[in-house]
Amino acid sequence: MSRSTASSAWARSIAEGLPDPLPPPQPLDPSVDHAPARRQVLGRAERELALRNALRYFPAHQHAELAPELAAELARHGRIYMYRLRPDYEMKARPLDEYPARSRQAAAIMLMIQNNLDPRVAQHPHELITYGGNGTVFQNWAQYRLTMKALSEMSDEQTLVLYSGHPLGLFPSHADAPRVILTCGMVIPACGSPEEYERLAALGVTSYGQMTAGSFMYIGPQGIVHGTTITLLNAGRKYLGTTGAEGLAGKVYVSSGLGGMSGAQGKAATIAGAIGVIAEVNPRALRKRHEQGWLDEVETDLERLLSRIDEARRARRAVSIGYLGNVVDLWERLAEASLAIDLGSDQTSLHNPYAGGYYPVGLSLDEANRRMVADPDGFRELVRASLCRQVAAIRKLAARGMRFWDYGNAFLLEAARAGAAVTRPEGGFVFPSYVEDIMGPMCFDFGFGPFRWVCTSGLPSDLHETDRIAAEVLEEMALAAKAETREQLLDNLRWIREAEAHRLVVGSQARILYSDEEGRQRIALAFNRAIAQGRVTAPIVLGRDHHDVSGTDSPYRETANVRDGSQVCADMAVHNVIGDAVRGATWVSLHNGGGVGWGQAINGGFGLVLDGSPDAERRVRAMIAWDVTNGVARRCWAGNPGARFAIEESMARERDLRVLLPSEADPALVRDALARAESER
């Protein structure tokens, strides 16, 4: 760290932690998108508890000044964000060496936290929400300030412990231990309901970390552009018989949501070659994607929109069109029209249906935001009715040949709860989830999942070099690959070659691709060598999102294609985090929730700092391998054929890997044995 930067205002502010005297109160800044007010769920005694909980962070002499203000925040927003403490320095990832820190690993974590809260990256930056409507980095600004202070002071012999954003403290550990161990939203299983979440979050004792928000691993919608591109290409392969080379030329994909993750859909559709039509009710969200260049066109009139789709389809021209309006209006108009729609999905935030995740048709955005607080029961009814109309229109198009899938946003779950016609009499849903049909059997079972990295120098030239290195590794692998994995390697090779041209970087200099266990290790080791040789000028942070092979137990999403009855068990995700922690991760996280909602998933993540050292190489070999083979072994045990192939390949490469393989029982033999046992009873 240079002396001049150490003394800069923002570095001083980090060292200060909580300011004393307090800064002046801050009015809400109208230039950023704010989270909707949350429902008032606390009774009088609990509101007192919430306020006492919040004041714990401050010295007693500040309580009289803060208490009325924080009480007003609770009354107005349903949460206490401590807006007054939001720092006045620019929130963004800075080059690693500028961080005031004793530990480089801790500095890298600070960089990732600031990136997660960068207004260019985060959905509701002033409420410390990165994506998904409620994906929280910290519950309040005191937690942010105290965490940054702790990170700036800690040594490589300490571990910072975070409970749902609350910095419990620095604890003595050792150099091989993670620098941060964090959990978000862990509750005893009996308290896994969404109502409990609302109450505990309002009390200020839990947070919804989603996946990469609470674990500081969000890299802007680029991550999701890649995942969505891969999903669309594989959906085309599976449902429409398209090939990797032609992509989705001339095919129409319709969906909703231009928010944190859903905002990637337009861009992904055009990268895949399709015509992407995405409805969004929030003009701010739509404008953000349009200004970023991730959305080619904006349309407010349904008739004009229909002719634009028709034109683009005839010309087989890849284009992304944002429709400013409710997706139900769009689906109903499309269902009436004769236009062919090939692929459809939904990416409203239905993991959070009644508190701003889904806007029912017929209400303006403002009116919906008002009603969900003023009349929650009435609002619920409107959401349910809207979902029923949406499903009816989608089913009409599906009957004409459109292939629709649930995008892991709890669409089918909430539609079923609303009474919409999405369930089969024999059980299960009439539409598949994208993991069940596409990502699970085509990617996760083979160990293919998100592998992301951040160049901590902040230099585009470093990112360029890492792209080149990753492409070189994938190219070598694709040449030697078996048929089972070649197509996936080629999709990702094409992606990484074109990634720079797509100008996907928002915030930190980050990149993502999908790879299997071998590829993730080989790319990581090649990066580490490049840092050692000075070809990459500063450390690289490795990580992933949780939409992956091993990190997430989520029966409606990541583990939707695990069919041995264990898809509701969370042993894999918990083991993953513990296993990563003991194999050298720089930080690890374990969360309740994720995109499908509180109580519906357990997911874990990691960050690993590569600094070019032999020590970093040792960590890569141990940790990255475990981070993939854990889930592949579990999927193999569940009987998934792709996973059996992949784990046998891994065992052939690594003699210390010895995984128990299942013996597939003959179904006829099982049926006979049961019939005999029943007849003899």
* 349 makes contact with ligand NAD (CB under 6 A): yes
Which C-beta is closer to ligand NAD: that of 114 or that of 409?
Answer: 409
361 bridge partner residues: none
Q: By CB neighbour count within 10 A (0-12 exposed, 13-18 middle, 19+ buried), where does 99 fall?
A: buried
> Collapsing DSSP states into helix, strand and coil, what is residue 602?
strand
| Closer residue to ligand NAD in complex, CB, 58/354 | 354
- Cβ closest to ligand NAD, residue 357 vs residue 605: 357
Residues shown for the chain: 681
Min CB(221)–ligand NAD separation in Å: 8
Determine the longest span between alpha carbons in the chain, in angstroms: 85
CB 133 within 8 A of CB 348: no
Report DSSP state, residue 123. Answer: S
Q: Least Å distance between CB 359 and ligand NAD? A: 4
Binding piece for ligand NAD, criterion CB under 6 A, among 163-171, 223-231, 457-465, 489-497: 223-231
Phi, psi of 78 (to 5 degrees): 75, 0
Shortest reach from residue 557's CB to ligand NAD, in Å: 6
Identify which of residues 347 and 466 has a Cβ nearer to ligand NAD in the complex.
Answer: 347
Contact pick of 185, 227, 458, 579 for ligand NAD (by CB under 6 A): 227
First to last CA, the chain: 77
* Residue 284 beta carbon to ligand NAD: minimum distance, rounded to whole angstroms: 8
Give least dist CB 366 to ligand NAD, A. 12
74 vs 327, beta carbon nearer ligand NAD:
327
Toward ligand NAD, which CB reaches closer, 409 or 521? 409
Q: Which of 178, 250, 260, 607 binds ligand NAD (CB under 6 A)?
A: 260
Q: Binding ligand NAD by CB under 6 A: which of 218, 253, 358, 431? A: 358
Alpha helices by DSSP H, listed for 423-508, are 434, 440-442, 460-480, 483-499
Stretch that binds ligand NAD, among 98-106, 201-209, 275-283, 661-669 (CB under 6 A): 275-283
Which of 545, 594, 587 lies closest to 444, judged by CA?
A: 545
* CA distance linking residue 348 with residue 327, whole number of Å: 9
Binding string, 396-415, against ligand NAD, x = CB under 6 A? -----------xxx------
Nearer to ligand NAD, 458 or 597 (CB): 597
Minimal distance, residue 666 CB to ligand NAD, in Å: 37
CB of 603 to ligand NAD, least distance (A): 11
Cα separation of 21 and 175, whole Å? 36
Query: Which of the residues 25 through 84 are near ligand NAD (CB under 6 A)?
Result: none
| Nearer residue to ligand NAD within complex by CB, 361 or 646 | 361
Q: Which is nearer to ligand NAD, 103 or 326 (CB)?
A: 326
Residues 515 and 207: their CA atoms lie apart, in Å, by 31
- Nearer CB in complex with ligand NAD: 181/393: 393
Tell me if 595 contacts ligand NAD by CB under 6 A: yes
Omega cis (within 30) before 21: yes
Q: Is 261 a binder of ligand NAD (CB under 6 A)?
A: yes
Q: Judged by CB under 6 A, which stretch of 167-175, 256-264, 467-475, 488-496 contacts ligand NAD?
A: 256-264
Our CB check for ligand NAD shows the closer of 369 and 586 to be 369
Residue type, 384: R
Report how far apart, in Å, the C-alpha atoms of 474 and of each of 379, 518, 570 are.
50, 10, 32
Facing residues of 590 across strands? 183, 604
Q: Which residue has the tokens 């959906």?
A: 235
CB of 280 to ligand NAD, least distance (A): 5
Region 620-649 residues binding ligand NAD, contact defined as CB under 6 A: none
**Of 116 and 466, which has the nearer Cβ to ligand NAD?**
116
Indicate which single residue of 57, 58, 81, 131 sits in contact with ligand NAD (rule: CB under 6 A). Answer: 131
Q: Is residue 256 within the footprint of ligand NAD (CB under 6 A)?
A: yes
Q: Which stretch binds ligand NAD (CB under 6 A): 353-361, 392-400, 455-463, 657-665?
A: 353-361
From the CA atom positions of the chain, what is the Rg in Å? 25
Q: Does 224 bind ligand NAD (CB under 6 A)?
A: yes
* Contact flag: residue 123 with ligand NAD (CB under 6 A): yes
Does residue number 116 form part of the binding site for ligand NAD (CB under 6 A)?
Answer: no
Amino acid at 372: M
What is the footprint of ligand NAD within residues 646-665 (CB under 6 A)? none
**With CB under 6 A, what is the number of residues at the site for ligand NAD?**
34
Report the nearest approach of ligand NAD to the CB of residue 354 (Å).
12
Instruction: Report d(CA 529, CA 525) in Å as an integer.
Output: 6
Which one among 78, 100, 125, 259 touches ligand NAD, defined by CB under 6 A? Answer: 259
Is residue 145 within a helix (H) or strand (E), and if so which, with residue range?
Answer: helix 141-153
φ, ψ (nearest 5 deg) of residue 126? -80, -15
φ, ψ (nearest 5 deg) of residue 269: -60, -45
548 binds ligand NAD (CB under 6 A): no
CB of 435 to ligand NAD, least distance (A): 9
Per-position x/- string for 280-309, each x denoting binding to ligand NAD as judged by CB under 6 A, each - no binding: xxx--x------------------------
- Taking the least distance from each CB to ligand NAD, the nearer of 65 and 367 is 367
- CA 432 to CA 344: how far, in whole Å? 12
CA 119 to chain CA mean position, Å: 17
8 Å CB contact between 104 and 160: no
- Token couple for 663: 């013996």
Shortest distance in whole angstroms from residue 466 CB to ligand NAD: 23
Distance CA 214, CA 18 (A): 21
Least separation in angstroms between residue 573's CB and ligand NAD is 16
Three-state DSSP class for residue 221 = strand
Instruction: Give the position of tokens 């929730």.
Output: 593
Which phi and psi (to 5°) does residue 365 adopt?
-60, -45
Q: Whose Cβ is closer to ligand NAD: residue 260's or residue 344's?
A: 260
DSSP 244-266: TTTTTTT-EEEEE--STTGGGHH
> What letter does residue 251 receive in the DSSP assignment?
-
Q: List the beta strands (DSSP E) in 40-175.
A: 129-131, 135-136, 158-163, 166-172
User: Which residue in 114, 123, 112, 120 sits closest to 92, CA to CA?
Assistant: 114
Task: By CB under 6 A, name the binding residues for ligand NAD.
Answer: 123, 131-133, 224, 227-228, 256-262, 279-282, 285, 326-327, 347-351, 357-359, 407-409, 547, 595
